[in-house]
Amino acid sequence: MYQRTPKGDELRSAFDRLKHKREDELEQMRIAKFGPLRNADRTARKKLGREIDEEKTHREKVMAECDAWSLDKARTIFYGAAEAEGRNPWHADVSNTMFWM
């Protein structure tokens, strides 16, 4: 079961804003390079092979940037702020205990 929390909603909104902003920026770069997506008669224009390859590259780039952002947020939440780098997130009573699953 998925539990929604205010903190989770805030993180999801920030993630979505980052993703959509980056996708829009890359789409505008493609439009500048290859021309508008629609012809004058409002029909979709045929995409070139190079444009399709670039779209795939841009999707992968956005995914990599989103993964990096997510891992950075997770690291900050788990370990604390950047100045606490290397901090053990576990309580002292638990940190030296081996868990068997």
pLDDT at 2 over 90: no
pLDDT at 14 over 60: yes
Q: What is the pLDDT of residues 25-69, one digit of tens each?
A: 999 999 999 988 888 888 988 989 999 999 999 999 999 999 999
Q: Looking at the chain, how many residues does it have?
A: 101
Q: Please give the DSSP secondary-structure letter assigned to residue 84.
A: G
Give Rg (Cα) of the chain.
Answer: 21
Q: Decide if 58 contacts 47 (C-beta within 8 A).
A: no
Residue holding tokens 């947020």?
73
Residue holding tokens 């638990």?
94
Report the percent of the chain where pLDDT is more than 90.
46
